[in-house]
Amino acid sequence: MAFLEILNLIGRQMPSGILGPFLIGTLTSLVLFTIHRAFSGPLRKIPGPLQCQISSLWTLYHSYIGDECTRITELHERYGPVVVIGPNEVSISDGAALAPVYSEKGGFLKGPCYSNFDIEGHSTIFSALDPAHRAVRSKAVVPMFSMGNVRAGSEKIEACITKMLRRFKDEIDESKKARKDGGAAKPVNVLNLGRSLALDAVSSYLFGKTFGGVDEQELSASVYVDALVAVGRLFFLPNWIFLAIETTRMKYFPFEGEFQSAEKINSFVDPMVRDSSKDDSTYQGRLLKAGVSPHEVEVQCKDLMFAGTDSTGNNISTLCWHLAKQPAVYQKLRQEIQEADDKDPTYNPQTLPYLDAVVREGLRISMANPTRLPRIVPPQGFNFLASNGETYFLPPGTQVGIQIYTLHYNAHVFPDPYAFKPERWLDASPEMQRDWIPFGLGQRQCIARNLATMELFLAMRAFAREDILAGAQAVGDSIELKQWFNSKVVGEKIELVWQ
């Protein structure tokens, strides 16, 4: 019922002359309650703006429009390393809080908003709030993600990269041909290519079956991925509100092609799980063997396809864009790889210092997940001694998070933080190592981090070997992102042209 209709109903039921005093009394009570909560609540000693002490609306608004990370970082610059961003929520900008919040003794439990990333009624390995529920599933598949097993299976990733190189060369030829024909060079959307490679690599390695994204002119899974990325703007809402909004959106305002894209994913996953055996060593086979239902196994596979496509695709394309922007960095990378190839072409790419620096810097600056990773303070509370010497006490039940954006763009730890400078990693400080958390931290960090990292190392080495970025120029002055839970590239394009 609309607010004005409620007032009209109250007015009809009340004797004449009482409505005015009633409304004044109600508003006065609301104001007094708000003041009481702001100045006598459990977080009253934590600094922060008044609007955040009395309501979460300010934070939710900036989460929705996609500038939350920038705005909360500005709050830290004004109020210090610990700041209130909601009546029961705190943000910390000090990397010294990473260990106690996320890793020591298993870290704090995830906040309830993670259930907004459940899929089809099932908690995923990522979204599960109950550690015991997650443990059964993660234990079944975690051996696949060890660095040793990822290296042993890297030929599957390299096969996908080899196919992508041919696709890249075809796109480059088209870009150059447009210029030769008298027009402007045709831009190549490397985000589309990066996503295609990432999806094929993750499906080939984990499922034993390749999706075939590299064969598609426009990745059919992209609309599905974009729809899940858009969920991130509502990530911090209470679950019942989130479900109401998202159900309404899907019914009346779906993304163009959203259902067709989801059906493409379903047509790949459903028969793959149905035809799998509990005795095979694939991702889906291991989950089935652990007693997970076939429908939930399908959901777990879809979740990994989304995460692997979005984050790694973003990382690959961002690296290509920055290397095209800085030819000297690209040539230095090529030289290191050529020298290593001449000595022993079977080497592990992760042993190359400059390639490692390039990948680390790409992960720092692209930030697949820029926003805070909310956790719940345990029953004993949390006494945090900040680097500035001040102590802050957060009472039990407080939601606390640390923004990857704030850490990765902290000028005190990463001088000139918005610049792509791989050299900074050749002599990294302890604070840089501590605050670099592109995959999260602790037991709940990204389960596929080793696979994603290996994809980046192998892809960058292959691109440099084949000199894919020779003559490439980055389109635009920057890559514009919406700062949702998963970064959204504005326009869904990261483009290069070849001269």
CA 247 from chain centre, in angstroms, equals 23
Residue 242 near residue 248, CB atoms below 8 Å: no
Rounded alpha-carbon distances, angstroms, from residue 39 to 25, 43, 88, 477: 21, 9, 13, 45
- The residues, ordered by sequence, that sit 6+ positions from 306 with a Cβ below 8 Å of its Cβ are 224, 225, 228
Burial label for 247, CB within 10 Å (0-12, 13-18, 19+), is exposed
Residue 80 near residue 45, CB atoms below 8 Å: no
- The residues, ordered by sequence, that sit 6+ positions from 490 with a Cβ below 8 Å of its Cβ are 480, 481, 482
Burial label for 413, CB within 10 Å (0-12, 13-18, 19+), is buried
Mode of pairing for the β-strands spanning 391-394 and 382-385: antiparallel
Residue 357 near residue 425, CB atoms below 8 Å: yes
In the chain, the amino acid numbered 271 is P
- According to the annotation, is 69 in a ligand binding site? no
Dihedral sign computed on CA atoms, order 34, 40, 41, 47: positive
Contacts by residues 386-389 (CB-CB < 8 Å, ≥ 24 positions apart) = 386/80, 386/81, 386/82, 386/94, 386/96, 386/97, 387/81, 387/94, 387/95, 387/96, 388/80, 388/81, 388/94
Give the closest residue to 386 by CA, choosing from 76, 61, 38, 15.
76
Residue 332 near residue 353, CB atoms below 8 Å: no
Rounded CA-CA distance 423/80 in Å is 30
Sole residue written with tokens 């501590």: 434
Q: Please name the residue ranges forming H helices in 290-347.
A: 294-325, 327-343
Mode of pairing for the β-strands spanning 375-376 and 109-110: antiparallel
Residue 300 near residue 125, CB atoms below 8 Å: yes
Residues of each annotated binding site: 446
Residues of each annotated binding site for heme: 446
